Structure 1
Amino acid sequence: MAQAGQRQKGARRTVPHRQQRVRRRDDVVSVLSRTVREVEAAARRGRVTPAVRAKFQAVAMLLRDERARVRTAPGSNSHRSEQLKRLEGIAAILAATAVGDAGLLALLAEDATISDAARSLKRQMEQDLGIEPAPQEVAQPEPATAPAAPESRIVPQSVISRKLANPFLAPDFSAVPQRASRPRRLANWEVLGPLLNSFERAGAGAPACMALPSPTARFTPAGLELMPHQGQLVAAAAAGHRTFLLADEPGLGKTAQALLAAEAANAYPLLAVVPNVVKTNWAREAARWTPHRPVTVVHSDGETVDGFADIVVLNYEILDRHRGWLGDFGFRGMVVDEAHFIKNKTSQRSQHVLALSDRIRRRTVRPLLMALTGTPLINDIEDFLAIWQFLGWIDDSEPLGELADALEDTGLTPADRGFHAAARQCVIDLGVVRRRKVDVAADIPARRIADLPVELDGRAGRSIRAAERDLAARMVARYETALANRTSDVPADGIDHELVRRVARAELKDATAAQSGENVFTMMRRIGQAKAELAADYAAQLARSAGKVVFFAKHLDVMDAAEESFTRQGVRFSSIRGGQTTAGRQASVDAFVNDPDVAVAVCSLTAAGVGLNLQVASNIVLAELSWTNAEQTQAIDRSHRIGQSEPVTAWRIIAAQTIDTRIAELIDSKAGLAARALDGSDEEVSSSAEVQLDVLAALLKDALLTADPTLAH
């Protein structure tokens, strides 16, 4: 028996490493958990030494190896799930620790260099656990010619944090269904050309809109109301439609439709690629229509990106810098606004957009893809080939998927008489939605103001915000001095509102009399100058999409900057400003009204605000704010007058995070007072001086509350 026991004991000594490994796997999770806690504690104490970094990297490598082994190891599914759950818990701790230290975070990158200390520590841990180490890697000799440096890729820190929060999540490409091949009658036919011809041959009365269901308000937030034509598209998305070429005219709410369609389709994360001038507006509209969905706007190199947001908004100009991480983000929906920006398929931005949409389609089951544009479908139809490709309807040479099937099902070829009408309908049924203002006039007000917030980037924006802070600081000092010199009636707490208005009145008086220096009037002029290019860009977009546009500005240098922008873009305009002779002014008006090639009327808000008839346009751009609602209304009424056949939309360009926003709010509030006064109430219509005073008082109050929030109580 003793000899038998000795033989059994000896047998245990000769058990292969592989058998020991299986038997001691539970110890691996415990050791990893204990080690990662040690690293976490060191990081919290701020003592991330080289030894701690080596331990961190060794744990990360061992964690990856262990998870790969557990996924393929034999055994019950319940045991495997339990092990994976424990490993993911360790990974979460590892990720949270790395987020607080850039040095540790870099060690988790796929291309991170593995230190000798980390590699040695990992091997030691494997030996202690009875795990057979992988064969020693043999260093490869340096190539004679160094490879080209990889393309620079920006990955925002917060996006890395998102990945680390679930480091094992990978796209399931097998979930995307593979379409069964079927015999193609049209395989040897050139079909794209006839498809384009089908739109060019369409009669004037041919519909350019898919059949839409009854509108739904199911996804509309409380307190908001969709117009019926908007609710129809959302209902289509809720019913399962997933590709849309939404070509409604400007002013019909395409942004809201896209956001609620994403909600109906649960297409999150959602990527919105938009022109720079509407980037801020997209964030505002997302907060309004989908308030429970976090939204992040990508600026420049993405330092402020929220990697955990449901909606990511960025502009075309920076798409090339961010394409890498966007492609790996896992989007289930993508929207391109002003989609005619990608009409040139050879341009970089078009190639980036098409590559991203292709990646989304390949890794997502029925993603939501939406192209938004106000450009009429019957103009330059070849420009829409890139949009069709973005939506997955075609590739470079032929129809794909549902479009190919629909064309086959017609039973026709391009040689048949009825092919063009049938083919055009096949494209429209895939998701073309086109409504004009006149078509849905009953849905929308005859006159409305739509605010378009824009970000003032660069040196001009920083300078304006700094000047606003200086103005507020000057008034705060004045307020505090006056408060300190008072001998009675000093309020026990809170803000002395009467004193605030006295200080604001004194500041306004100084500004009115000043010949130089920074004040509220020079600040508004600088804001107008900074907005000029953005406002002109938007007016040019409107002109291309919806026809003639009236562009209003208050200062001549803002008009000059806008006209220079139109000239660079090849947009013809007429100029209506003070100082013109009567004949010259009328010639400019006639050119805008009668010449179809003159797309924009650039007008002085004061000189052209009255006495003109410009109802040939139904879109107005207010590049600068007036100090009164009456002046703003007079400008809008140049188009909204007898003879106007369409609802009029005034697009008010507002500089976000500046005094511009406060002025817009005050103008709107005074508008109600003016309406009541005109209806016979005793209210007085506010003058421009009162609005200016209110703006300065509000700026001072905001500064006081920022310095001491307790003053609000």
Structure 2
Amino acid sequence: MASNIQRRPGATRTAPRSRRRARNQDNDGIIPVLASAVRRVEAGVQHGPVSPSIRTQFQVVALLVREERARVKADSTRSDAYRAEQLKRLDGIATILAKVAARDTTLLALLDEDAVVGDAARSLKREMLISAGMEPGDDDVTTSVPPAATTTTKRQVVPQSVVSRQLANPFLAPDFASVGTRESRPRGSGSRRLASWELIGPLLGSFEHAAAGVSACMDLPDASSVGVPNVPELMAHQAQLVAAAESGHRTFLLADEPGLGKTAQALLAAQAADAYPLLAVVPNVVKTNWAREAGRWTPDHPATVIHGDGDTIDGFADIIVINYEVLDRHIGWLGDLGFRGMVVDEAHFIKNKKSQRSQHVLQLSEQIRARTVRPLLMALTGTPLINDVDDFRAIWQFLGWIDEKKPRAELMEALEQTGLTPADPGFCAAARERVIDLGIVRRRKADVAADIPARRVADLPVELDDAVGRSIRAAERELADRLVSRYESALETRASGDVVQGIDHDLVRRVAGWELADAATAKTGENVFSMIRRIGQAKAGLAADYAAQLASSVGKVVFFAKHVDVLDTAEQVFAERGLRYSSIRGDQTATKRQENIDAFVGDPDVSIAVCSLTAAGVGLNLQVASNLVLAELSWTDAEQTQAIDRVHRIGQAEPVTAWRIIAAQTIDAKIAELIDSKAGLAARALDGSDEEVSSASEVQLETLVAQLTDALSATR
């Protein structure tokens, strides 16, 4: 529209030009690009289910806001006023992100520091930087190479001993010896019934909504009727799985509870199936233990462990053990070696199909299936479900049950035989049974290992009555006040005319979501995460003191903590008390770690194992102790349970007690209650439990909801 304001002859245009120049500056740089993108995200979340593209935009905006905030703060060439204005604009974008995340809390996982940034996100980030006139960094460069091809673009190595093995058998051919055992597929009209249906979603949903009391375990043979190796230590439930492999079953999702001996079952199943050479892909922290277990259970089949470039491995070994982190440099020769079996330990590590380790594992399983008919494929995990039943997808694909879009032939054949479609009421139950029959094995300690002594979690409240404790309680009051202020502001400004008597609990959850999103992106300032860390630091000395008392009275003790400074404090306390300890952390070499484990297990004078909750929570056998101290809380029951199960496992002769140190009259106590109330992450899908599946973000959100609700109740 043309302007009706006329300029007087000779009037200067300096002021309008100045205003236009200011507006142009406001439209320069990354912030306008972010503002436009965050509005698209907001609109996308408001109009229905969040699509993958909206999730990608949400993550990229959050990443760029974080990076731009850090850049602005570090820019000493600009005035304080300019930096303050830019930070204010970034805060506005962050506020919208927080509101969006409050609407759909699944977006909160994308704000984590270690959230995987996929190719789509890197590509979008690069486009947004270019649109803002900025130069993308190396991390923002993506290629159009398909995922399976990208896994071989990094530095590749071929150990000399592997070359020797290849030269010794240069005519390695695909193994089609078992081709005759494959069942013929049905033909005719019945095989087309499900061709046009989307089936992956209903299959996953059949586990999420399973009826209470319906467990997930295939029918297993009676081990006594099959020639299972005569191993005295082998328990009945372990022998059953080995018998299934001996009788011809070849794919297993072995999801027994931690402590029931999954490693032994996998090694003996490989021996029963003659699945050599066997590849075992395992976390770095347990690969040495895998070689030891192989020497114990299958001593006639030598095992070798790949470290780094693999210069020291035995290329002629029957069992090759490798950790996820070095798969990239060995992927080439591993795919050509002719494996007849593959085991993936802690298989929930591959749940994110966009991650490199997931792509490597899936690529190898495809290559093994391509050259060996019916290879032995086993996914081992005691924690098969973390945030979503969709975590099964990558595991099922590794096992060859599904591909990217649909069930593979064997599962499709079984589904066709039900005579049902997803529109029929009985489809979910029938489909779940067919998937289980492919090889899901889930047993609980209470059902198959009744001779393992009971365990209990005992809470020990401690009072933080010093200056640090007072500071923590003051910070909690400030958090409560901030939450109340946000709640009241939102109550005053919301457009709806609805009046809620008492506390508006829907609004409470939204406010808690905003606070949680802000906390996840903030680099400085007090928030729920920084408070939990401070509480852990404040409890460190008290927890270590209690562990020292236990060691003096009951013998060996395992001490778990999350943060390095808490571990350091504990070790200092033990050293001052003259107690010998072993330190088990994530930054140790595999050799050093194993030395420390052996010292704790075998040396009677080493009374305490000081363990990182994240690095030592899987793959350790510490049943030489029957008491453990949890100095810091996890955000999920699963992580806590994994730690306890390092002690409460086969071979344990004493009742196990986990002493959980709780800071009384702090947010610590609320978190403990919430963890206990949301226990059982995998129970709903695999044990037929009707408990809700929860995640760390849910517990974090509920913690803030409880904090705000209590504060509002106190003021009314």
TM-score, normalization by structure 1:
0.45
Larger Rg: 1
With a CA cutoff of 8 Å and minimum separation of 6, indicate the structure with the bigger relative contact order: 2
